[in-house]
Amino acid sequence: MTVLDRARPDTARRIHPAWWVAAVTFLALVGAAAFRAVPGVLIDPLRAEFGWSVSTISAAVAVNMALYGLTAPFAAALMERFGIRRVVVAALLLTATGSGLTVFMTASWQLVLLWGVLVGLGTGSMALSLVATVTGRWFVARRGLVSGVLTAGGATGQLVFLPLVAWADATWGWRSASLGTTAAALAVVPLVLWLLRDRPCDLGVAPYGGTAADDVDPVRTGAARTAVRGLLSAARTVPFWLLAGGFLICGLSTNGLIQPHFIPAAHDHGLPVTTAAGLLAVVGVFDIAGTVLSGWLTDRADPRVLLLAYYGLRGLSLFALPALFGPHLHVSMVAFIVFYGLDWVATVPPTLALCREFFGTRAPVVFGWVFASHQVGAALAAFGGGVVRDVTGSYDLAWFLAGALCTAAAAMSFLVPRTPVSPGDRPQGLPPSPTQAAAGQAHG
C-alpha cells in the first residue's frame, strides 16, 4: 500500500491524522488562552495584597503583550528547526512555570519576570504562528476552515477560563486561580506528546486533501536566522507591508482599543460596569462563530474581498459607536456587539491565506511577523486610547480615529495584488507559491 493509498478515506483509517493534530492543537491554544484571562481578573487582588499600583501591574501585562507578538515569528522558525511537538511542549511547560511560580513572588520585578517574560514567551510560542504551521503542513483542503477553528481556540480559552478564574479567586484566593491555569496547561502536555506530530510523512500519510509532494521538508537552519531572513525577504515585497499594515490596524481596533477601553467608556456614559463586561463576554461568544465562518468563506471566496468587507464594515461600526453609548442598554448597542464579535478576528483566515499565496513554505514565519504588527497596533491603541481620554475627557476621538484607520485597512486589502509577484521579483530564498508554479507551468 502506498502513502497515497493510506491517505484515502476509503481505507481502514477512517479519520485522517490531520484532524487529530488539529484537535490537540486546538486544546493547546485553549490552554494557552487561559493565561490571557488571568491578568484582568487578578489585578485587584494583587493590589490588595502587595500594594502595587495599577501601572506596576500593567507593566507586566505590557511586557507580556509585546513578547506575545514578537515571539511568534521566532516560534515559527523554531518549529521548522526542532518540530512542532517539541516547541509546543516547551511552550506549555514555560507558561505553566511562569504562572505557577507567581504564588511565591514577593516583589513586583518577579511579577514582570513571571507574568511578563515567561508567560509572554510561552503563550507567544503558541500564538497564530502555530495555526499557520499546522494548517500549512497538515492541510491542503479545508485550510481556511481549520485556521478559523484553531484561531477561535484563543477566544474559547478565555471564555472557558475567565469565569472559572474569577470564581476560584473569589472562593480560595488568587493563588488557587494561578495554580488552576497552571494545571490546565500541564494537562495538555500528555495529549501533545501522544497525538501531535510534526509532518504527515511521520505517520506515512499525505496532507489532508493533498499528495506526498505537498509535504515539504522544513527548513533546518538556525531558528533566529530563519526568522530574521523571513522578515528581510518579505519586507522587500509590497504584499507584506499591505498585510502587516492591515493587521496592525486590526490589533489596534480590537485588542488594543475595544478590549481595554470599552468598559470605562461605557461607564463614562452611565452604563454599569457589570453590564459592559457582559457585553464583552458576548463579543467572545460571537468571535468563535465569526472566525469559523470566515475560515469557511476563505476556502470559497477571494481573501482580498473578505478583508475589504471586514475592515470596511468595522470602520463604519466604530464611527457609529459614540452615539450608541448611554445609561441604558439598547438594541442598537447589542447589534454593535454582535457584529464586532463576528468581525473580531475574522481577518485571520484570509490574511493567513494571502501569506501562503505569496510566501509559500515560509508563510508561517512571515505570518509571525504580520502577527507581531498586530500586537504593536494593540499596544499603541491601548496607550493612545488612555491619552485621548485624559486629554479630551472622552473616548469619542479614539473611536473616530480607529474607524478612519479601518477604512484605510480596507483600501490596503483591496490593493493587495490579485496575482502573486512575478518569480523575478520574488525575494531570494522564498519558493514560488502554488499560483506562481501553476502559472509557470502554463507558460511553459
CA distance 438 to 434: 6
Domain of 161, CATH number, reads 1.20.1250.20
Structural domain count, the chain: 2
Locate all alpha helices (DSSP H) within 51-114, ordered by sequence: 54-82, 84-100, 108-111
CA of 399: how far to CAs of 253, 277, 320, 337, in Å? 9, 18, 9, 14
78 secondary structure, DSSP code: H
Structural domain span for residue 361:
237-422
Q: Are residues 344 and 253 in the same domain?
A: yes
Contacts of 209 (CB under 8 A, 6+ apart): 139, 140, 141, 142
Residue 323 domain-assigned (yes or no): yes
- Same domain for 296 and 153, yes or no, is no
The predicted pLDDT at position 157 comes to 67
Q: Would 211 be classed as within a structural domain? A: no
Do 194 and 304 lie in one domain? The reply is no
In this structure, are 198 and 282 located in the same domain? no
Q: Are residues 245 and 350 in the same domain?
A: yes
| Whether residues 22 and 143 fall in one domain | yes
Looking at the domain assignment, is residue 104 inside a domain? yes
Residue 47 lies in a domain: yes
On the CB side of 258, CA atoms within 13 Å amount to 27
pLDDT of residue 231: 84
Q: How far apart are CA 64 and CA 112, in angstroms?
A: 8
Please tell me whether residues 190 and 326 are part of one structural domain: no
- Cα separation, 53 vs 65, whole angstroms: 19
**Is residue 210 in some structural domain?**
no
pLDDT at residue number 436: 39
248 and 197 together in one domain: no
Residue 231 lies in a domain: no
Look up residue 287 and give its three cell numbers. Answer: 468571535
- Flag whether 186 is in a domain: yes
Asked if 330 and 387 sit in the same domain, the reply is yes
Nearest Cα neighbor of 277 from 354, 363, 409, 162 is: 162
pLDDT at position 160, please?
66
Q: Which residues in the chain come in under a pLDDT of 70?
A: 1-13, 34, 36-41, 43-44, 54-55, 58, 155-160, 162-163, 218-224, 419-444
Query: What letter does residue 114 receive in the DSSP assignment?
Result: I
- Sequential DSSP letters for 9-34: TTSS--S-HHHHHHHHHHHHHHHHHH
pLDDT at site 218: 64
Please tell me whether residues 64 and 129 are part of one structural domain: yes
- Give the 3-state secondary structure of residue 61: helix
356 and 255, same domain (yes or no): yes
Q: Does residue 185 sit in the same domain as residue 329? A: no
Compute the distance between CA of residue 305 and CA of residue 201 in angstroms, rounded to an integer.
Answer: 35
Q: Is residue 218 part of a domain?
A: no
Q: Residue 128 corresponds to which cell in the numbers above?
A: 497564530
